[in-house]
Amino acid sequence: TSNVNYSVGCTGGTVYIYDCDGTELAKFKDIPSVYSSVFSPDGNLFVARSTRAYFGVYSLNPLNLKHKVRFSNVDGSQDDGYTFSKDNAYFYNIERQQSSTNHAISVYDTSTFHRVAMFLEHDNQTEPCYIESNKDGQLFVLGFLRGKNGVISNGFVSKFDHNGLKDLCD
């Protein structure tokens, strides 16, 4: 993952930080099984996410771990989407909560990285997989719906805000 000033590389057990010239600035081994990351819109933070239900929040100035968050007791299979709000106030994380087929969308306040809201945690039919924003900051969730027998019935795209999914189209 890259922004104007930095690149982050994740190799499972190590997170590497490089400057824009490719010089290694730091490496961290704080979180197991981390393979992806995302920069905050203001470029001051990045989150490295583990497939084992952790994410680490790192400061870029100074280069250090600010928060290590265990977001679920479901270990493994945590490879769904996550992103920051355009205004940098919130971090959104799709999390498997009760089983590998039960997803929730958690909202974290970026000043503390405490969870301030959770959506879909008891819904066994709606499975969000990706969360992204457009250039205006509108969040969209992509996923699929399960029928009553647990079989996937349809994919969906939906807008998302602090009231949950809206305008769901399948």
Query: Structure tokens of 13?
Result: 């057990």
Query: Is 83:139 a contact under the CB 8 Å cutoff?
Result: yes
pLDDT of residue 151: 77
What Cα–Cα distance (Å) separates residue 46 from each residue in 33, 43, 127, 134, 152?
17, 8, 26, 19, 34
pLDDT of residue 76: 73
Which residue positions in the chain have pLDDT lower than 70?
none
pLDDT by residue (tens digit) across 83-120? 999 999 999 999 988 777 788 999 999 999 999 999 99
Tell me how crowded residue 80 is: count the other CB atoms within 10 A of its CB: 20
pLDDT of residue 133: 94
Query: Structure tokens of 7?
Result: 């690149």
pTM of the predicted structure, to 2 decimals: 0.93
